[in-house]
Amino acid sequence: MSGYRLGPDDLIKISVLNEPNLSIEARLSDAGTVSYPFLGEIHIKGKTPGEVERLITDGLRGAYLVDPKVNVSVLEYRKYYIGGQVKHPGAYPYQPGLTVGKAVALAGGFGELASRDIVILREDDPAQPQLEADVMTPVHPGDVITVEESFF
């Protein structure tokens, strides 16, 4: 996912070319940090994998390595949540390309009292924390989807 911003509970892999002791898999803490050899606890919440690559490259360059080649990849995205009028509300693993319609299907489909009103709370967009959605709306990791109840 281009431009993806890391957050708590993402599982990432950091690898350094020809340096197996510096290659790790780590899950971001609730504070958005990971513990990395030589650099200690680093805060990466809200950063893209590319920004983390540069941060670690800069930290290792000079004192530890001459020209480190760092790669950061997301192995597992944080979960999204779906509730309200779906058959199996709960937390589900995020998959790239996920839409509200697919999320509803993974949650067992719409409940008997489901309305067409669907709301998403986006943790990664404080400017627009609540979004009216339809089945084609993209879902982001960490989103909270609510399928409202029909009153007739």
Query: How is residue 56 written in tokens?
Result: 């670690």
What are the tens digits of pLDDT across the range 52-62?
999 999 999 98
DSSP 28: P
Say yes or no to pLDDT of 2 above 90. Answer: no
What is the rounded distance in angstroms from the CA atom of residue 63 to the CA atom of residue 16? 15
Provide DSSP, 67-114: S--EEEEEEEPPPEEEEESBSS-EEE---TT-BHHHHHHHTTSB-TTE
**Which amino acid, 143?**
D
Question: CA angle, 108 as apex, 80 and 27 as ends, to 5°?
Answer: 25
State which fold the 80-149 domain adopts: Outer membrane lipoprotein wza fold like (3.10.560)
What percent of the chain stands above pLDDT 90?
Answer: 81
**What integer best gives the mean pLDDT of the chain?**
92
What is the rounded distance in angstroms from the CA atom of residue 118 to the CA atom of residue 115? 8
State which fold the 11-76 domain adopts: wza like fold (3.30.1950)
What are the tens digits of pLDDT across the range 71-94?
999 999 999 999 999 999 999 999
Say yes or no to pLDDT of 7 above 80. Answer: yes
* Domain spans of the chain, in order of start: 11-76, 80-149
Query: How is residue 58 written in tokens?
Result: 């800069």
Query: What length is written for the chain?
Result: 152
4 vs 107: which has the higher pLDDT: 107
Query: How is residue 107 written in tokens?
Result: 């949650």
Alpha-carbon separation of residue 84 from 77, 100, 103, 110, 125 (angstroms): 23, 13, 13, 9, 22
